[in-house]
Chains A and B, each alone.
Chain A
């Protein structure tokens, strides 16, 4: 029983990271129906920038994370302007290839700058346990990851529903032509989505590697992205709330179902892919997504 509770706690903290990256994917998918395969690498790069700001510039850890979120947002906005916007948004294949290219390029760039050996990342949350029940524990780290997704989803909801740029973003997500006809400039609005997504992803990686059991290295998000894509697809690719539920669910599948079903932990990635496949087969719009309607 206590082992089970510990696995739930682990699953939730892993799931929270998948949820954050999944929310970043959803932001871009909502507006463009495109999955940015480089999202995890943007985030990994952001993690390194935060580490550099903290260890080399001496900025307090949360300040470094915030600074890195701003820097990656600006970089993502630049990438959107130079590598994404010149292409026809309705033709997905070239765009997918560009995001795959970015995936490889950013990964290699991080390797060149910071090498591939793992580095310790300062903790963002207090160490120790918030609750103890026998040998079962709920660490402050798990609590912190859950609070983080609550804050991010609250912030994104406010941003999308209470601000003018949020309204424009939702309009562009709904219908491009009608958005242009009310005077919205589609390019800069999508750029805003890329920037926000990159910032959220960076926060996701920082929280992920802030675990005392993890370290930061350039490949840290390679498998993480697959979990995040599965999480986003499970929740419904255009639903932020769905990304959270999907992320936590994938995290729990990984930490509970996999050991109890006797799946070797090396194959836990496969479990995520299996979930993804089942979703696409039986409920393509995911748990909370909008069923696909013909966009005119």
Chain B
């Protein structure tokens, strides 16, 4: 990214982000940004603060520092308001509504919308993931892990976000399902231009679809760079790619 890019190109601009749980501070001043249309990956080991970073961005935990969405300060916005500003968050561990049917999960994903295209969008996602269409009247909690992740992502995209936050979408899923899921993320990014911030432990896959990446260690940014550079960086390869 060149320095000429202005804040209007930045979907998300985070400076000095700190946050944690109760007395425990997890994030120690993170600076990162996501430009329009990018897929940015945040890598890190267990406990590095990846999930906390996403939760801080979307207003689910108390945080300090500056968080700007397309230039607008959202440092004090709470989760339900951020959805209305175009941020959708797929939390770790699916984040579906287990007692609701598959179709109702998608419908509730469009909760903030008032237009007439909700039904058409539901059909669109049933087209993208036919297995969801076959099970539309089934309770979401009865789906397999992979199906629930498909539903969680579709549910998030039902709000027609401009920024999608994905928290370890690969967690607990079979490798082949994860590969399909990530292929789909890349397609969605290309087709709809949805900007994505992905937190992952599966560095290989995430960097495979990502434009840039940040590596998080103990709540600080350890290194950052274009995805291709990170994938070829020896230190990163040893620490996070397991090769």
Residue ranges of A at the interface with B (Cβ–Cβ < 8 Å): 164, 167-168, 170-171, 173-175, 177-186, 290, 293, 296
Contacts and interface: CB of A to CB of B under 8 A. Distances in A.
A170 B91 contact: no
Contacts, number: 70
Contacts of A182: 83, 108-109, 111-112, 155, 159
B225 interface: no
B111 A296 contact: no
Interface stretch (B25-33, B93-101, B123-131): B93-101
A-B CB proximity, top 9 nearest? A183-B83, A174-B97, A183-B112, A174-B99, A180-B79, A178-B95, A171-B108, A182-B111, A183-B80
A170 B109 CA distance: 13
A160 to B, nearest CB: 11
Contacts of B107: 167
Nearest to B85: A183
A183 B99 CA distance: 18
Contacts of B95: 175, 177-178, 181
Contacts of B155: 182
A165 B109 CA distance: 13
Interface size class of B (residues with CB under 8 A): 20 to 34
Contacts of B100: 170-171, 174
Nearest to A164: B111
A170 B83 CA distance: 19
Contacts of B75: none
A39 B163 CA distance: 44
A51 B46 CA distance: 64
Contacts of A170: 97, 99-100, 104
A168 B91 contact: no
Nearest to B108: A171
A27 to B, nearest CB: 15
A291 to B, nearest CB: 11
A183 B84 contact: yes
A168 B93 contact: no
Interface in B132-165: 141, 155-156, 159
Interface in B68-116: 78-81, 83-84, 88-89, 91, 93, 95-100, 104, 107-109, 111-112
Given A180-B80, A183-B159, A168 B111 contact: yes
A26 to B, nearest CB: 14
B55 to A, nearest CB: 10
Nearest to A170: B100
B128 to A, nearest CB: 19
Given A170-B99, A171-B100, A174-B99, A180 B60 contact: yes
From A167, A175, A183, name the one whose CB has the most chain B CB atoms within 10 angstroms. Answer: A183
A290 B99 contact: yes
A293 B239 CA distance: 37
B170 interface: no
Contacts of A181: 58, 60, 79, 83, 88-89, 91, 95, 156
A171 B101 CA distance: 10
A183 B111 contact: yes
Most buried by A among B84, B95, B96, B155: B95
A164 B88 CA distance: 19
